[in-house]
Amino acid sequence: MTLPRLGATSQISGPALPPAYVPENHGTGIVHIGAGAFFRAHLGAYTDQALAASGGDWRICAVALRDSALAQTLGAQDGRYTLVTRAATGSTARVIGAVGQVIAADPAATLAALCIPATRIVSLTVTERGYGIDRATGGADLAHPAVAADLANPEHPSGVLGLLAAAMRHRRQHGLAPFTVLSCDNLPENGRLLRSALIDFATRLDPDLAAWIAAEIAFPCTMVDRITPAPTSQTLAEAAQQTGHTDLAAIETEEFHQWIIEDDFPLGRPDWAAGNAIFVQDVAPYERMKLTMLNGAHSMLAYCGFLAGYPLVRDVMASPDLARLVQRHLRAAASLLPPLPGIDLGQYAEALALRFANPAIAHETRQIAKDGTEKLPQRLLAPALACLERGQDIQPFAFAVAGWMRYALGRDDAGQPYPLHDPRAAQISAALCDLPSDAPHIVARLQGLPGLFPQPLVASAIWQDAVTRALERMLAHGMRAALSLEAQS
Ligand code: CS2
């Protein structure tokens, strides 16, 4: 199959909208690390709107650190891709022209792009696990393979911290202005966390560089939101129908999108407000709202839904028991949040339930269930601790964490095994092997994973009792029956 190029010279024969500007008239100002579906549905789309509304040399050099097949596909299409937006009422499509260059799994070329004077922003979507941050200390995770490799060989880095540090060393030596670093992953205070990990990483190599990073580099925090399932053959078929072209880099997403950003870009930024990005002084409260409500409920429904035999989030929402437990989780999470100007948390929860139920989006529960040890702290454990400290009902969080523990066993109620996609999968299996499969032992072993559970939670008898009872029911009755018992309680 030959791949027609989706370029300025292509005729879009379907109803998909082409870029509303001439992409090639704009230079590149952003290097984005992590060219996956979420980047293409979110930052790529916002930047496209910014270029259409206000122009500027803000096209993106998209780097796929590991997935060279995706990058080659995107590169062969001159960076163009179709964004299919699926609402309950129907789909629309538009061709995004914001990506001007693509780098496929090539660390040397990535470092070179980071060192170009015109690079003013380096943005990232590499997932929670991709950075190599030790979440217990906020420093670099020395056990992370890329961190260990880059500390041993800092001149030829291939991981996020190593590449950023090497680029900053080069820019400092050559008197180039430092770029702004924009982490767009679901980590608490993502900019500050990345800053502390990078400073720790650089301190191990060159304390002067670390001091320069601390003094000179802006790391705005940001809250990103758009539910984006992994693309399927249906996504590609729909894109082909709408554009008249084969587009192997097409993606689909929901209509809703939100982006809240701290406005700290010393070298400027695209006019992202054109796509309705909101600029604020302090992102933390918005981020906490999204992490505890959307992502916390997502994780709960993913573990429980997957084990109850619901492959998609929308199937979960069609199950009365689980839908009720999702509502309960959203209420419990909202009760922990401070009031936020302009936001009604009740309405936010209602909107989330509708987004989860969107019949046009096929979002797999097993996709969300990945990397639990990276997601649990900010989504479920911090809220559980806050709940305990306030003397509020801890049950919704205990139930969700029991769902993760049940999932961590790696086999469903029929005994069928499934892979645990988690950076600590080996540690989890080691903790659970040779163990009587009763809830108290499982809870104790998983809570003993180094640095994962906050000590005050582990020390609480109320918490221990609630998690152990929830897991006991899941083991004794199976997930579906446990959900039904929980929903009635
Ligand atoms: C999800 C998120 O996969 C997951 O863990 O909870 O990717 C979620 O879909 C996004 O944060 C929505 O903005």
Give the residue, by CA position, lying nearest to ligand 1 atom 9: 227
Q: Show the domains of the chain with their CATH numbers.
A: 23-280 (3.40.50.720), 284-488 (1.10.1040.10)
In the predicted model, is pLDDT for residue 5 greater than 50? Answer: no
In the predicted model, is pLDDT for residue 424 greater than 60? Answer: yes
Q: Give the pLDDT score at 2.
A: 30
pLDDT tens-digit series, residues 216-239: 999 999 999 999 999 999 999 999
Using 50, 70 and 90 to split pLDDT, how confident is the model at 88? Answer: confident
Distance (angstroms) between ligand 1 centre and the Cα of 359 equals 17
Cα 129 from chain centre: 9
In the predicted model, is pLDDT for residue 1 greater than 90? Answer: no
Distance (angstroms) between ligand 1 centre and the Cα of 226 equals 8
Q: Give the pLDDT score at 7.
A: 32
pLDDT tens-digit series, residues 268-313: 999 999 999 999 999 999 999 999 999 999 999 999 999 999 999 9
* Whole-number average pLDDT of the chain: 95
Using 50, 70 and 90 to split pLDDT, how confident is the model at 246? Answer: very high
CA gap 196, 178 in Å, rounded: 17
Q: Give the pLDDT score at 341.
A: 86
pLDDT tens-digit series, residues 40-50: 999 999 999 99
pLDDT tens-digit series, residues 348-361: 999 999 999 999 99
Distance (angstroms) between ligand 1 centre and the Cα of 256 equals 13
In the predicted model, is pLDDT for residue 4 greater than 80? Answer: no
What is the average pLDDT across 77-84? 96
Distance (angstroms) between ligand 1 centre and the Cα of 157 equals 29
Candidates 221, 239, 342, 234; CA nearest to 291 is 221
Give the residue, by CA position, lying nearest to ligand 1 atom 11: 225
In the predicted model, is pLDDT for residue 6 greater than 50? Answer: no
What is the average pLDDT across 170-192? 97
Using 50, 70 and 90 to split pLDDT, how confident is the model at 13? Answer: very low
Distance (angstroms) between ligand 1 centre and the Cα of 224 equals 10
Largest pairwise CA distance in the chain: 67
In the predicted model, is pLDDT for residue 3 greater than 70? Answer: no
CA gap 353, 301 in Å, rounded: 12
pLDDT tens-digit series, residues 123-156: 999 999 999 999 989 999 999 999 999 999 999 9
Candidates 401, 413, 181, 209; CA nearest to 308 is 413
- Candidate of 190, 294, 376, 407 to mutate for ligand 1, largest count of ligand atoms within 8 Å of Cβ: 294
Q: Where are the beta strands (DSSP E) in 67-176?
A: 81-87, 90-96, 99-104, 121-124
Distance (angstroms) between ligand 1 centre and the Cα of 368 equals 7
Q: Do residues 49 and 58 make contact, with C-beta atoms less than 8 angstroms apart? A: no
Using 50, 70 and 90 to split pLDDT, how confident is the model at 25? Answer: very high
Q: CB of 203 closer than 6 A to ligand 1?
A: no
Distance (angstroms) between ligand 1 centre and the Cα of 341 equals 24
Q: Do residues 8 and 24 make contact, with C-beta atoms less than 8 angstroms apart? A: yes
Distance (angstroms) between ligand 1 centre and the Cα of 160 equals 21
What is the average pLDDT across 375-397? 97
Give the atom of ligand 1 at the shortest distance from the alpha carbon of 375. Answer: 5
Q: CB of 186 closer than 6 A to ligand 1?
A: yes
Give the residue, by CA position, lying nearest to ligand 1 atom 3: 368
Give the residue, by CA position, lying nearest to ligand 1 atom 10: 227
Distance (angstroms) between ligand 1 centre and the Cα of 360 equals 17
Give the atom of ligand 1 at the shortest distance from the alpha carbon of 298. Answer: 6
Q: Which residues have a Cβ under 8 Å from the Cβ of 89 and sit 6 or more positions away?
A: none
Whole-model pTM over 0.85: yes
In the predicted model, is pLDDT for residue 315 greater than 50? Answer: yes
Give the residue, by CA position, lying nearest to ligand 1 atom 5: 368
Q: Any idea which of 237-241, 368-372, 391-395, 403-407 has the lowest mean pLDDT?
A: 237-241
Give the residue, by CA position, lying nearest to ligand 1 atom 4: 368
Q: Which residues have a Cβ under 8 Å from the Cβ of 234 and sit 6 or more positions away?
A: 362
Distance (angstroms) between ligand 1 centre and the Cα of 36 equals 13
Distance (angstroms) between ligand 1 centre and the Cα of 294 equals 8
Give the residue, by CA position, lying nearest to ligand 1 atom 8: 227
Q: Give the pLDDT score at 289.
A: 98
Q: Give the pLDDT score at 15.
A: 73
Q: CB of 258 closer than 6 A to ligand 1?
A: no
Q: How far is CA 367 from CA 306, 391, 456, in A?
A: 10, 33, 30
Share of the chain above pLDDT 90, in %: 92
Q: Which residues have a Cβ under 8 Å from the Cβ of 36 and sit 6 or more positions away?
A: 64, 67, 70, 125
- Give the end-to-end CA distance of the chain in Å, rounded to a whole number: 56
Give the residue, by CA position, lying nearest to ligand 1 atom 6: 295
What is the average pLDDT across 63-91? 93
Using 50, 70 and 90 to split pLDDT, how confident is the model at 436? Answer: confident
Q: Give the pLDDT score at 9.
A: 29
What is the average pLDDT across 53-77? 94
Q: CB of 355 closer than 6 A to ligand 1?
A: no
Q: CB of 295 closer than 6 A to ligand 1?
A: yes
Q: Give the pLDDT score at 298.
A: 98
